[in-house]
Amino acid sequence: MADPQEILAARVQSALGAALGAEFAETDPVIRPSQFADYQANAALALAKRIGRAPRDVAADIVAQLDVDDLCREVEISGPGFINLTLRDDWIAAQAQALLSDPRAGVPQQDPETVAIDYSAPNVAKEMHVGHLRTTVVGDALARVLEALGHRVVRQNHIGDWGTPFGMLIEHLLDAGEDSPEAELVKTDPNAFYQAAREKFDDSAEFAARARKRVVDLQAGDPETLRLWQELVDLSKVYFNRIYAKLDVTLTDSDLAGESTYNAMLPGICEELERTGIAEISEGALCVFLEGFTGREGRPVPLIVRKSDGGYGYGTTDLATVKYRVEQLGARRLLYVIGAPQSLHLRMVWQTARKAGWLPEGVDPVHVQIGNVLGSDGKILRTRSGKPIRLMELLDEAVERATTVVADNRPDLDEATRASIARDVGIGAVKYADLSVSHDTEYVFDYDRMLALTGNTGPYLQYAAARIRSIFRKGGVDPASAEGPVVLTEPAERELALALLGFGPAVAAVGATLEPHRLCSYLFDLAQAFTAFFEQCPVLQAADPAVRESRFALIAATLQTLVAGLDLLGVRAPEQM
RNA sequence: GCACCUGUAGCUCAGUGGAAAGAGCAUCGGACUUCUAAUCCGACGGUCGCAGGUUCGAAUCCUGCCAGGUGCGCCA
């Protein structure tokens, strides 16, 4: 609604049509933020070449037709033909004030689309690692953002709940006893359970034989085996939900759509692929060979849909997810928030699905590639002993470190309040660190940096919000009662108000690009604009009551935006810090 | 060998074909009698991996090369 860039684009575009002819009325006016003004329009330079005239003359013709008196204070042609646009203070003020009464805080309502998001996807009876952490946090932020934009989001937690390991896991569960402390480990330390099963499998031929038989029983649908399998899944759900609760992730049991969900579809998928000639038997396995996919020594890379032993692999279940999400869920966008190394696999799955007709024109699958999380040594994050780090311990350590910092700085607060702040800050820091860099690149995990109160961190944004709340508390004013009117005089006021207008566009950009770090960058800029304002513009001590009211309105809008933005990222904003 | 990703300040990272490439950290120098100094301001810091090409204009697009990472048939 109040996106200056969009409004200016429309105005400049109609000026283009008026100045240069109707055939230019659709031309992109190329509005960009400017270091010399608020915005600049760069269209004249590109058009000058096309119509064979001097760029500055073209710019002058555009400006002559440009009707922006109601929103621009200054329009200036500069350099080789840039059109610099400076907004009117009263226009910015009115827009910022309008945000206060907008329940959407400027976030646009888009045409609803059904979007399936595949994210998190931990394995039953296995520890979640930092890679799962990142897909969980990024996927959840995307789900929140797309919902905020008005879309119907269907979360799909594709947990690993099927396959050969369940033979040994079930036998180990039986050996240990279903209600034993060993079984309880699945809820708290699943890797300990898994490793124990693995060791027995490796050491005991008798156990291994039982495990293999158990896999056959599982696939055959033996009721008692299925009951034990369900037992393991249920124990794991307890573990997943503990992690999700700690992380403030929106996933629930109703979002679970694990591999086993698709079992019934798999034979039909293979049959159809074979019947249509898309798949063929090779070395005993049913494979799809696609053009352009070659591996070592130029050999074609297969997508194996049925193994030579008759079993199904993840290629088949992934094909089933496409079919299910398109046909049953009616999804028009399929998001796979999955590790970057799976890129080749996914492209093969999608191309196969296209050939088979399961992925119609107009339905776009997107791989939101998640880069690895590295330790300070530049290698994949592990403990000193080389084992993967337990996610719960990692989160606890973040909270613990935050606890120390809060205790040092806020001895005046009672322990329960400090603990609550430490939780919000510690967890927020970890999540924000995952979100604030491009999701597809690797990044270096560093507690000290993510917990810092300076720089582009979660705590810095939380602190900005806490300072605003502190002002309202101290002034005995309810942020909801701040109405303005907003009047801009100080440069820091203007900067802050202008920054506020960028929230809706930033959220829309995340929805379009699926890059949550853009929202982080925006919120960091906003927090910096607020901090500058905080230093220069007293609110409670403002001599003029009108200035005081205006500043209350500005910081109320800032608070609303920061809290809404952090919420879209899944990060809490504590009352005080 | 093939494919994908990455290469930007000492470090961690942004950067929509537009003007003189940005931020944070670190370093150095400043600012608390004033709404939270867990903050802020200033300075320093660059052959945007290399070489070509396209363009009025390239960190951005194309080609080649170099370096690092990842993946490449029955685990998922």
Cβ count within 10 A of residue A323:
19
Torsion of CA A312, A318, A321, A322, to 10 degrees: -130
Q: CA A432 → C1' B53, Å?
A: 41
Task: Find the Å distance, CA of residue A234 to C1' of nucleotide B36.
Answer: 46
Taking only the tens of pLDDT, chain A with its 577 residues reads 579 999 999 999 999 999 988 888 888 999 999 988 999 999 999 899 888 889 999 999 999 999 999 999 999 999 889 999 999 999 999 999 999 999 999 999 999 999 999 999 999 999 898 889 999 999 999 999 999 999 999 999 999 999 999 999 999 999 999 999 999 999 999 999 999 999 999 999 999 999 999 999 999 999 999 999 999 999 999 999 999 999 999 999 999 999 999 999 999 999 999 999 999 999 999 999 998 898 887 889 999 999 999 999 999 999 999 999 999 999 999 999 999 999 999 999 999 999 999 999 999 899 999 998 887 766 677 665 666 678 899 999 999 999 999 998 999 999 999 999 999 999 999 999 999 999 998 888 888 888 888 899 999 999 999 999 999 999 999 999 998 799 999 999 999 999 999 999 999 999 999 999 999 999 999 999 999 999 999 999 988 999 999 999 999 999 999 999 999 999 999 999 9
The structure tokens listed for A287 are 């494979």
Measure A530 CA to B19 C1' (Å): 28
Q: Which residues contact A544 (CB under 8 A, 6 or more apart)?
A: none
Residue among A216, A260, A204, A213 at smallest CA distance from A234: A260
pTM over 0.90: yes
The H or E element that residue A374 is part of is: strand A373-374
Q: How far is the CA of A529 from the C1' of B32 (A)?
A: 21
Nucleotide nearest to A468 (CA to C1'): B35
Which nucleotide across the nucleic acid strands is nearest to A76, CA versus C1'? B19
Measure the CA–CA gap between A558 and A465, rounded to whole angstroms: 8
Instruction: Name the closest nucleotide to A285, judged by C1' and CA.
Output: B74
Report how far residue A39's alpha carbon sits from residue A26's, in angstroms, rounded to the nearest whole number. Answer: 20
CATH 3.30.1360.70 in chain A, residue ranges: 4-87
From first CA to last CA, the distance across chain A in angstroms is 33
Separation in Å: B62 C1' and A482 CA: 54
Nucleotides of B under 7 A from a protein CB: 1-7, 12-16, 18-19, 22-26, 34-41, 55-57, 69-76
Selection from A485, A379, A461, A421 nearest residue A89 by Cα: A485
- State how far the Cα of A489 lies from the Cα of A313, in Å rounded to an integer: 65
Separation between the CA of A79 and the C1’ of B18 (whole angstroms): 11
Q: Sign of the CA dihedral A94, A96, A98, A101?
A: negative
Nucleotide nearest to A437 (CA to C1'): B13
Long-range contacts of A238-241 (CB under 8 A, 24+ apart): A238/A186, A238/A187, A239/A186, A239/A187, A239/A188, A239/A190, A240/A122, A240/A128, A240/A159
- Exposed, middle or buried by CB within 10 Å (0-12, 13-18, 19+), for A342? middle
Q: Give the closest residue to B36 (Cα–C1′).
A: A467
Give the C-alpha separation, A44 to A38, whole Å.
Answer: 18
Separation of A387 CA and B25 C1' (Å) = 29
A160 nearest nt, CA–C1' = B76
- Measure the CA–CA gap between A38 and A499, rounded to whole angstroms: 11
Half-sphere exposure of A214 (CA within 13 A, CB side): 26
Three-class SS state of A381: coil
Class of domain A4-87: alpha beta
How far is Cα A406 from Cα A400, in angstroms, rounded to an integer? 10
Biggest CA-to-CA distance, chain A: 88
Q: Which nucleotide is nearest to A42 (CA to C1')?
A: B18
* Residue A314: strand, helix, or coil: helix
